[in-house]
Amino acid sequence: MLFFRLMGHFVQVYFAISPQAIFNTVTVFLIIFVVISLHAYSLIYRFKLVDLFRAGQSGETEPKASLVLALVSMALIVAGYSLAFHLTENFLLYAPMVLALVIIGSYGLFHSFMVFVIRLSKKNTSQYYRGMNLISVSNLLYRIKSNATLLATIAVLSATTVTAVGMSYGIYYDINNAVNYHNPFSYVYWSNADRDQKVNQTLLQYPQNQLLHSVEIEFISARGSLPGLDTHFALISESNYNKLAQIKGWDKVNMSKQEGAVIVHSDYDFRGDFVDKTVLLELDDKSKPEFLIVDRRPYKLTNNSNTWTSLVLKDEAYEQLSKAEKPNSLRALIVDNQKDSQALTAELGRILPAYTWNSYYSEYMLNMEQRGMLMFIGGFLGLVILLATGSIIYFRQLNEAQKEELNYQILRNIGVSRNEIHASIRKQLLYVFLFPLMVGIAHSWVALMALANLLVTNLVISTIITIAVYTLIYLIYYQLTVNSYNRIVNSGNLRSI
């Protein structure tokens, strides 16, 4: 039901138990169980059973910090970040390279740079020997070897989650701006007297979609060329454009020279700045008038996708060209409640020939379906990965808490207070949670900004909201882990050792 709601449909979905779903779930878990069993069997087969029982008692060696590997890891990540902002040049080549550089750099970062930072913090004796820092830092350093790969994986998965959710939410969040940008009018159709009469009669039957504005768009189609560009242009008079501008709230045009022109195009469909450039037109009578582009307007003139880039000409120049080239005519309408105009749109579809008209409602519902599906997939996968990564760290730390219970009991026996132990646990787990979160957020921020540049859209707001929500849920996991860890190692009765 949520999926259909995001797509703009109100459908009642009833609960049902699917035998096929149960069978598939059982099959997948059996496969996982068999794989884990075979792995466990291989361990038991390769080692003596007594060695496996004593494996937890074997000492851990302090990992060595490699400054070279730390610098290389940072260099790989920076190179991946830099290359991400050049995806528009060759996406298929650069995208895999960015992923490889960032992922390899992330694993190297946790295996080397993190060790280097912890060892460096030990040299700050004023902080290292204060309170429980000696124990928490040393404990973290000795366990970094077993946790580095896990934390790097969490960082990569966190970046994947925030990127997927941030992009899908940003695209869905921008749906109204995108549809309004590409469809400035409720309806646009090729007009004639018969169609106008039928449309007017139809509009009277739907008072909830009252006609607010109606304007005729007369234009001349012509082939034209600019430096480095050949395309079709829709030539429109200054007075006609200003009527559209008054309705839509656009800036009006006021040209002083007859040979001047204002280019109207959207940033999505037409990249390049051709102001102060000369456009050469080719008309059917073989004439080739020239106009100097004096300004540009970043709009869609109509929501007819077949309307080309437009040139606004002074009325006198337009009248002169209309003698050599017969103008075409479109009618643009704006109605009330255009997002709730399904019945009106369906009725107009029955009286207007196909491919002669375009509606805001049709484009809005198409975008709702496409972006709603993307939002659902991104949100669902993001939630699954978030729950998985949080649970992995949670249960991993609880497993270590079981192993450390005796050590913390010794600390309590020698006089360390429970509050000091609790504070030490909070600092130790904060590092475990915070470092992969910060790396993941950095990766996702760069990825989303690069995607925003690639898609020519703005993902800043959606990125900030996604990061804030993700961080909040992550901190909840952190607090749950601290409470559970402390309950295991710091709440038992004192026993003599």
Task: Name the DSSP letter for residue 303.
Answer: S
Q: Please give the residue range of the domain that contains residue 304.
A: 211-335
Q: Which two tokens stand for residue 378?
A: 């991104």
Q: Is residue 430 part of a domain?
A: yes
Q: Is residue 160 part of a domain?
A: yes
Q: Do residues 126 and 216 both lie within one domain?
A: no
In whole angstroms, what is the distance from residue 428 CA to residue 14 CA?
Answer: 47
Q: What is the mean pLDDT of residues 433-447?
A: 93
Q: Do residues 419 and 444 both lie within one domain?
A: yes
Selection from 408, 423, 433, 416 nearest residue 491 by Cα: 408
Q: Do residues 84 and 170 both lie within one domain?
A: yes
Q: Is residue 200 part of a domain?
A: no
pLDDT in tens, 14-36: 888 899 999 999 999 999 999 99
Which residues, other chains included, contact 332 with Cβ-Cβ below 8 Å and sequence gap of 6+?
Answer: 184, 185, 187, 188, 213, 214, 215, 216, 217, 244, 302
What pLDDT is attached to residue 304?
62
pLDDT in tens, 346-369: 999 999 998 889 999 999 999 999
Q: Would you place residue 495 in the very low, low, confident or very high pLDDT band (cuts 50, 70, 90)?
A: very low
Inter-axis angle of helices 91-108 and 67-84, nearest 10: 150
pLDDT in tens, 228-283: 778 888 999 999 999 999 999 998 998 888 889 999 886 554 555 678 889 999 88
Q: Do residues 384 and 479 both lie within one domain?
A: yes
Q: Is residue 204 part of a domain?
A: no
In whole angstroms, what is the distance from residue 495 CA to residue 492 CA?
Answer: 9
- Dihedral sign, Cα of residue 203, residue 238, residue 176, residue 179: positive
In whole angstroms, what is the distance from residue 414 CA to residue 496 CA?
Answer: 11
Q: Is residue 357 part of a domain?
A: no
Query: What is the total count of domains within the chain?
Result: 3
Q: What is the mean pLDDT of residues 178-194?
A: 91
Higher-scoring residue by pLDDT: 59, 481 = 481
Report residue 210: phi and psi, to 5°. -60, 140
Token pair 């192993």 in the structure block, residue: 403
Q: Do residues 225 and 310 both lie within one domain?
A: yes
What pLDDT is attached to residue 123?
73
- Of 312, 335, 358, the domain-final residue: 335
Higher-scoring residue by pLDDT: 420, 456 = 420
**Helix, strand, or coil (residue 468):** helix
Report residue 280: phi and psi, to 5°. -105, 120
DSSP bridge pairs for 263: 296, 311
pLDDT for residue 89 is more than 70: yes
**Helix, strand, or coil (residue 255):** coil
- Of 335, 354, 380, the domain-final residue: 335
In whole angstroms, what is the distance from residue 4 CA to residue 415 CA?
Answer: 60
Q: Do residues 145 and 107 both lie within one domain?
A: yes
In whole angstroms, what is the distance from residue 340 CA to residue 199 CA?
Answer: 18
What pLDDT is attached to residue 272?
56
Q: Is residue 474 part of a domain?
A: yes
Report residue 267: phi and psi, to 5°. -65, -25
Q: Do residues 80 and 143 both lie within one domain?
A: yes
pLDDT for residue 141 is more than 80: no
Other beta carbons within 10 Å of 326: 9
Q: Do residues 246 and 282 both lie within one domain?
A: yes
Q: Do residues 248 and 165 both lie within one domain?
A: no
What pLDDT is attached to residue 59?
54
Q: Do residues 168 and 137 both lie within one domain?
A: yes
Distances (CA, A) of 246 to 4, 188, 263: 38, 17, 18
- Over the chain, what is the mean pLDDT? 86
What pLDDT is attached to residue 236?
94
Least confident among 43-52, 289-298, 368-377, 381-390: 43-52
CA angle 359, 362, 365 (to 5 degrees): 145
Selection from 339, 379, 313 nearest residue 170 by Cα: 379
Which residues, other chains included, contact 427 with Cβ-Cβ below 8 Å and sequence gap of 6+?
Answer: 132, 133, 136
Q: Which residues of 20-59 are buried (b: 16+ CB within 10 A; e: fewer)?
A: eeeeeeeeeeeeeeeeeeeeeeeeeeeeeeeeeeeeeeee
Q: Do residues 271 and 307 both lie within one domain?
A: yes
Inter-axis angle of helices 133-173 and 360-413, nearest 10: 170
Selection from 294, 213, 210, 305 nearest residue 266 by Cα: 305
What pLDDT is attached to residue 494?
45
- Dihedral sign, Cα of residue 199, residue 203, residue 206, residue 209: positive
Q: Is residue 309 part of a domain?
A: yes
- Of 289, 319, 335, the domain-final residue: 335
pLDDT for residue 455 is more than 90: no
Percentage of the chain beyond pLDDT 70 is 91
Higher-scoring residue by pLDDT: 88, 55 = 88
What pLDDT is attached to residue 497?
39
Q: Do residues 155 and 85 both lie within one domain?
A: yes
Beta strands in 157-257 (DSSP E): 187-190, 211-226, 229-237
* Longest Cα–Cα distance in the chain: 107
Q: Is residue 291 part of a domain?
A: yes
In whole angstroms, what is the distance from residue 217 CA to residue 310 CA?
Answer: 12
Higher-scoring residue by pLDDT: 89, 308 = 89
Q: Would you place residue 40 in the very low, low, confident or very high pLDDT band (cuts 50, 70, 90)?
A: confident
